[in-house]
Amino acid sequence: MFQPSHFTAVLLFALFASVVFGITMRETPQKMFRYGLYCFVLFVGSTIVLSWVMFLIAR
């Protein structure tokens, strides 16, 4: 059975959400890809930043 870690689950969510956002929010394939990539980077980047913030608060 597949039991992903928290970070793997976040990456999977970011991937699937970014694909949906890219397809539904832009018109051309090039713009879809760029916007999907932009959303993916924002999802993962915000996850990393917020995890550091929570680590520093809990410390």
Look up residue 28 and give its DSSP letter.
S
CA distance 37 to 21: 10
Query: In 10 A of CB 14, how many CB atoms?
Result: 19
CA distance 15 to 37: 9
Mean model confidence pLDDT for the chain:
95
Mean pLDDT of 46-58: 96
pLDDT at residue 2 is higher than 90: no
